[in-house]
Amino acid sequence: MYCRNCGNVMDDHAAFCTRCGVAKGTGAMFCPSCGAQTNPNAVVCVNCGVALNRNYNIYNSQQKSKIAAGELGIFLGGLGIHNFYLGFTTKAVIQLLVCIVGGIITCGLASVAAEIWGLVEGILILTGSINQDAQGIPLRD
């Protein structure tokens, strides 16, 4: 895959170009398939024939809500629901286990600690200190 802005070779799983810093799928100067320079108004690459979707934005369908994530953290944070929502599954499973298994073993003390942990993360999300999901995509307001 190639950066559509500068033509640099990109890893298929990269969200941003390491050379110019633009988001994957943005730009109109180079073909994402073959890396050939293209006309910004072209619909297909004249070199390889791939369709050049000029209106594509990586964030449109993938951005998660900051408000939803923050409220999930505040109200259900001890169970790690906000981290499941944001894609941090390992952290979410740890929070869930601390809350349930740890709560049973410690007569509820671990559950209280997990709830405080979730509450703090929920507040950090709403204040913007945590502002990306697990894929590095910014949260939308």
- Encode pLDDT of 38-48 as tens digits: 887 777 788 88
Confidence at residue 5, expressed as pLDDT on a 0 to 100 scale: 77
- Residue percentage of the chain with pLDDT more than 90: 48
* Number of C-beta neighbours around residue 33 at 10 A: 16
Q: How confident is the model at residue 54 (pLDDT cuts 50, 70, 90)?
A: low
pLDDT at residue 2, rounded to an integer: 80
**Residue 76, C-beta contacts closer than 8 angstroms, at least 6 positions apart:** 82, 118
Taking the complete model, does pTM exceed 0.85, yes or no?
A: no
pLDDT value, residue 114: 93
How much is the average pLDDT of 84-90? 95
Domain ranges of the chain: 1-58, 66-127
Confidence of residue 119 (pLDDT cuts 50, 70, 90): very high
- pLDDT tens-place string over residues 11-23: 878 887 888 887 8
Distance CA 8, CA 28 (A): 13
Q: Could you give the CA distance from residue 6 to residue 22 in angstroms, rounded to a whole number?
A: 9
